[in-house]
Chains A and B, each alone.
Chain A
Amino acid sequence: MIKPILLTFTWGALAATIAFGAQEKSAAAPTDPQIAMIAVTADTIDIDAGKLAAEKTTNPKVKDFAELMVRDHTSVNDQATALAKKLNLTPEESATSRGLKAAADKEATKLKGLSGPAFDKAYVDNEVAYHEKVLGAVDKTLIPNAKNAELKSLLESARPIFESHLNHAKEVQSSLK
């Protein structure tokens, strides 16, 4: 009676540990296909947000910033997509890319309900927070875990752009206060 229970418990514990460990591992260390997808997702999110803002805003600084987001992230996305193709890398969804997308969808819904200065503030505040998050992910997760040298190099080249965007966003944020 006790033996089967103990056995089940032991196997159960082992299985849980493995499953948990595996999950932890995939969240902490994305593969190259997952990294490619995270990069493309992050770019696409900002392109979409930029397009929305460029249409909605009447503030020239905000409009310039939004157009910059569309221009820059479209270009980075093109390079990333071309590289993925060249490396025969099929971008793969992960918890990270899905999480990014979910948060962005929620934010877009909120922004669509706003207009005027309220919209501007919400958009720019989000851009600051978003670029801080993306920069952190690039530094702590994407670059350190990229195995392919060209992919790593692309991420390293993209990094200064995200930093520039963050600084830009902060400037616009100050001008709205």
Chain B
Amino acid sequence: MWKTYLRQIRYLLKENKFFSLVYILGTALSITMIMLILITYYINTANIGVEDKRDRMFFFTRAYVVKPGTDATGDKFYDGLQSSSPVGHKLIEKYMYPLKTPEAKSLVVNMQSVVYNKTKQVNEEMSAISTDADFWKMFSMRFLAGGPFSDVDVKSNARKVVIDESTARALFGKTDVVNYPIDIDWKEYRVCGVVEDVPSYLSDAYAHLWLPYTTATSRFFRGGNNDLRDIQGPAKMYLLGYERSDQELIRQEMEHQIQKLNAPAKKSHFTLNHQPDTALESLFRMSSDPYDKIYTRMQVVLVVIIVLLILPALNLSGLIVARMKKRGEEIGVRKAFGASVWNIMGQLFLENFVQMLIGGIIGLCLSCGLFQLVRNTLLVSYRTAGNDLSVKGVDVLNFFHIINFSTICYVILICFLLNLISTLLPAWRYARISIVEALNRR
């Protein structure tokens, strides 16, 4: 039975080359678009590479200063909003480090540092992260030599630095360089560890240098009044929960801490605006929006995906109707010789599904090609935009790390959905057509 159907599908594909081409390419393009969205989503939110705890990592990235009593939702939020910026390191030190709910809490400042390359005798600008000892609990970096700086090192302003393999090779020609001196921002540091390169698409962990933030606070200075200087600054905070579900508990504890900060007499209050965020939420958080806008943006993306799915399905549906008109006689003959409505519908579904599957496979290949083509652009998230990229980091991103069994299943599911949407109505309509009418359609 299947063999006969497949033989017929092959014949129809060969007979209606233009139709088949449009149909298959249409499917392939929509699959490609959806795959690229899935890939972007996956790169930014899944547990991959050294960022293998993203599912229980939470982000506190913005400090919102508002008039007292401002609700963090809806349009009224804008009336009360005075300013928003990254977080001040003093706020984190004083109010967030004491948090007990998270497993780890890390202050992070992304910056560009100037490193003196003695071999080339030039200063080179490099991506750096000023952070603390808990940073190394957040990510699974692999040390090639030495180890991370400790809490004691951070508290004692020890000028220690962890560098990546590329930097070690560029500066010293080897990776076994623990205790080697290195000039960063015209100060001498000592290498305490060398890690494998971190790909730039892992934007939360990515840098070439990681140094204790206490050695770089002079660069954190910010103008404005004293209240704001403590609250706002260049930092952000990563919080690692024990469980994915710890987000709300952490938020509650943070809110409790904030109450200590917001004295009733102050004219400006600080609000978390529903932080900390999950990795996905942090992607959709813009600088000065109320938190419910995050969900509006997510809904917009979801609608775009659905439209990407439905629009081609509607076009394909039109193509199917055109082809059904040509095949009315066949449907009549099949029904005359015993095919039921369900037999006809099943056949039409199968025929279109096979074509969609071909389109799906081509779509996968296209998205693979397109992915290689736009890889660099695609992988620079707004969080690292402007920083230098680790070329090796980009190179190690392999399409087939992302295209795994579950992705293939998604593609089949999407093909099935496209098929369902595009075939259902024409198939139902034509399968129920009167036999005499169908036979007379020539």
Q: Do A and B bind each other?
A: no
Binding site for B on A (CB under 8 A): none
Binding site for A on B (CB under 8 A): none
